[in-house]
Structure 1
């Protein structure tokens, strides 16, 4: 699955990722971008007057973000402690998958929500495994009883490849159920590529 590397590296004429439009949901306030890469989302939001910072595990990406003037720290979602509550937490660029598995998705969403102000929101994008052609995401048979969106991934550039890591391609219905289990709700949705990629805004349900 090709990645928009040229866009992340700020190369002239690079095509934007399909899900970049979800940034229109962020109109003001303070933002934390989880898995910010080289900081492009924060760069766009800063031009609109929205401030914040990012966290990222890839050392090279953090260096590129900081070189571009984007506040970014090298940490992971599961250990980071924000200095202040955020109005919006981003998990964009498919980063809803950072949960790793569907079983860990509620805990992942709960952690992101713990960074929010009382009225704060999570903006995430993910890949709906149901909308991909048969065989596109699955190189082998799915074990009985396992969730089809639970995958392992690695990044490859030319003849170099990184380590394998868990990633979940969560379908939109399962996302809604995971939100309900921890007192969140999906309040807005957008889709691209026939629903294969989608974005969602999550906030706390009134009864939470």
Structure 2
């Protein structure tokens, strides 16, 4: 049965009724995977090192884009930062509010207005671009949300390793970008509509940033082809 907010449904069920089962995902990579609900409610100590490092880099007013159940926003609030948490999922925003996030908004970031010192896009938040063609418009919108001297903190992964054969050769479509993936979420009897998601390698992200007057700097690399980057405007 199709449900428009499978993620929110699962998060609310976990928060209000406790664990029963995790979200399953299927993708165009022909893989079935599990998204553990407990992982979406984790505290700072249980977060991956790249996420911890990203949170430590946050300053001033913060816009947590795709906040989910609000774990990142909660920690930032505890550090005394002013945080606005947004997500297109009404269920996710309900959970974030119930958990104590002070300022929550159901919104697509493309429709959001404001000025922030830090834009936070974790758990491959750059994936919201959907496709490589959507990366430029996304960066243009993010740039419009930056206060003078502001920063964008984003993590992603270079998934080229998934296309490597035993000879060390890569089998990818030369007419497309290998990081463009179609996903679908499943929880109990419900399934989301299929949606596009983007994984972008660091060099491609850097080139896209330069095309929009932005500079991309590597902060840290993870253990499994992932990285954390800071994006900011190029000084004249």
What runs of 5+ residues in structure 1 fail to find an aligned partner? 136-140
Q: Which residue of 2 aligns with 1:206?
A: 235
Matches within 5 A, 1:160-179: 160-179=190-209
Q: Which residue of 2 aligns with 1:74?
A: 106
Contact 2:218 2:227 in 1 (8 A): no
Q: TM-score, normalised by structure 2?
A: 0.76
1:34 aligns with 2:65: yes
Distance 2:193 2:46 in 1: 27
Contact 1:33 1:42 in 2 (8 A): yes
Shift of 1:115: 0.6
Q: Deviations over 1:89-115 (max 9, x none)?
A: 011111011111111101101111111
Shift of 1:156: 2.5
Shift of 1:158: 4.6
Distance 2:35 2:49 in 1: 11
From the superposition, tell whether residues 112 and 179 of structure 1 become closer, same or farther in structure 2 (CA, over 3 Å): same
1:54 aligns with 2:82: no
Root-mean-square deviation (Å): 2.3
Shift of 1:142: 4.9
Shift of 1:19: 3.3
Q: Higher Cα Rg: structure 1 or 2?
A: 2
Contact 2:215 2:232 in 1 (8 A): yes
Match of 2:185 among 147, 155, 160: 155
Shift of 1:181: 0.3
Contact 1:127 1:171 in 2 (8 A): yes
Q: Which residue of 2 aligns with 1:115?
A: 145
Shift of 1:186: 1.3
2:204 counterpart SS class: helix
